[in-house]
Amino acid sequence: MLTQSESWTTTTCSGSSPSDDARPSPPHPSSIPLSWPPPNAELTLDWVLSLMSVFDWSSRNLAPSDFPSVLPVSVFDTLVLSASKILHKEPNCVRIDDCGEDSSLVVVGDVHGQLLDVLFLLRDAGFPSQNRIFVFNGDYVDRGAWGLETFILLLAWKVVLMPNRVYLLRGNHESKYCTSVYGFEQEVMAKYGGQGKHVYRKCLGCFEGLPLASIIAGRVYTAHGGLFRSMPITPSKRPKGRKGRRIMLNQDSTTLSLGSLEELCKARRSVLDPPWEGTNLIPGDVLWSDPSMVSGLSPNKDRGIGLLWGPDCTEEFLRNYNLKLIIRSHEGPDAREKRADLSGMQNGYTIDHEVESGKLITLFSAPDYPQFQATEERYNNKGAYIVLQPPDFYTPVFHSFEAVTPRPKVNAYYSYEDVIDSDGELDFSAAAEDG
């Protein structure tokens, strides 16, 4: 079994290009195919480091259809089952309060199946440990060529250091509809063939268990999309002879008000596709909403789901819960190109609102995004991650990094020339019809 020092060298090169030419290509791993530890044996750090080495090597040297020879379905099943048991027990909003004086916390935005960049990020930030906590803000899959490997790797870190050193939150792409449009479903089928449907269903079930948000050290709120509405209900009497109350939802956008953490904790998150209408709108808001420079709350008409919220809402939310910082993700350079009111995403992060109580930050961790693009002109954006340190854990330290180059030549798993670049025009009515 490879040790950490043998497998990886941690380098500090934020803001510079982590070129493959700077380190040798990993040798053929001796641990292929990967096997699960025997009964009564724990999953170890060495096992996860070996998984990283194997995935790095296979992404460069094997065809997608050879993936079962790297990670057999039986090992996948055991890992996903172990992770799902942990995730489904976590609340909608996980509270990370065990941040000691010798600890640091790393927040990561969208990674979208860009495995090599994720491997670099983990080396650059330092691996998860008892003194280094990670919060991943969702969108592990779609767009990139290695969404399956990326998601499996992060689940493995979760299981190894379970449950309080690696937190995996849900993104809008961890859904049935998005993964059928942006390539993850096709990626799984290409890699597992006849067993692909089984693997894909297991992934969807795991997506349903991912928490929606986190509160770090009582001072920082993180979520993929961001803030959410309050869900007032109006009870009305049912006809005689029937028990219970009929719940009527007021959909008048003029009455929208900011939701509470208590409402967030009570929302039903175990849905494959968060609804854009009905009585369970909070999960869709948390995963799909965007900030705006216009005050107030309004429907997010460009996306067809979620909200737009202004600086006044950021101030209200921070003040209500004695918070200093909101870190959200969800918008890459393609989305920000269409948002003239907000800063671009060339450095992997933007500070969108600065209000009396604190700040709102958008964090994006997929450099040179999207990996496949319909136009020849690429964004060449950097990715970034944030480090929060004691004593307050709310002063962000930004680390920008460029994409790993050269990248292995691979084919896209979706028709990127025909599919819109941004998530802003998805047909959610079609999603409902597809079930």
d(C-alpha 380, C-alpha 402), whole Å: 8
d(C-alpha 297, C-alpha 258), whole Å: 8
d(C-alpha 349, C-alpha 48), whole Å: 29
Amino acid at 406: P
d(C-alpha 272, C-alpha 306), whole Å: 16
Residue 120 main-chain phi, psi, to 5 deg: -65, -45
DSSP one-letter code for 288: H
Alpha helix (H) residue ranges in 240-348: 261-266, 282-288, 311-320, 333-336
Catalytically annotated residue among 28, 112, 173, 224: 173
Active-site residue 399, yes or no? no
* The token pair that represents 349 in the structure block: 């992060």
| Omega cis (within 30) before 391 | yes
d(C-alpha 397, C-alpha 295), whole Å: 28
d(C-alpha 315, C-alpha 343), whole Å: 19
* The token pair that represents 64 in the structure block: 């997608």
**Which among 128, 78, 123, 80 is positioned nearest to 106, based on CA atoms?**
128
Is residue 191 within 8 A of residue 58, CB to CB? The reply is no
d(C-alpha 44, C-alpha 348), whole Å: 32
Residues 6+ apart with CB under 8 A from 395: 388, 389
What are the start-end ranges of the E strands in 104-258?
A: 104-108, 132-136, 166-168, 213-216, 220-223, 233-237, 245-249
**Residues involved in catalysis:** 173
